[in-house]
Amino acid sequence: MVTSSASSPRAMQKGQQTKATIIEAALGLATQIGLEGLSIGAIAEVTQMSKSGVFAHFGSREELQISVIREYFSRFEQEIFYPSLQADRGLPRVRALFSNWMKRVAVEIQSGCIFISGAAEFDDRPGPVRDALASSVQTWMQALHRAIEQAQECGQLRVDADPQQIAFEIHGLILALHYGARFLKNPGSLERANTAFANILVRYGAQVSQPA
Give, as one character, the DSSP assignment of residue 111. H
Give, as one character, the DSSP assignment of residue 126. -
User: pTM, whole model, 2 decimals?
Assistant: 0.86
Q: Any idea which fold 67-204 has?
A: Tetracycline Repressor; domain 2 (1.10.357)
Taking a C-beta distance cutoff of 8 angstroms, is the pair 69, 35 a contact?
yes
Give residue 11's pLDDT band: very low, low, confident or very high (50, 70, 90): low
* Beta-carbon count within 10 A of 33 CB: 12
Domain extents in the chain: 67-204
Taking a C-beta distance cutoff of 8 angstroms, is the pair 39, 61 a contact?
yes
DSSP, collapsed to helix, strand or coil, labels residue 123 as coil
Comparing CA positions, the residue from 165, 117, 119, 125 lying closest to residue 141 is 165
Average of per-residue pLDDT across 167-191: 95
Region for 127 from its dihedrals, namely left if φ exceeds 0, alpha if ψ lies in -120 to 50, beta otherwise: left
Average of per-residue pLDDT across 3-11: 57
CA distance 28 to 136: 18
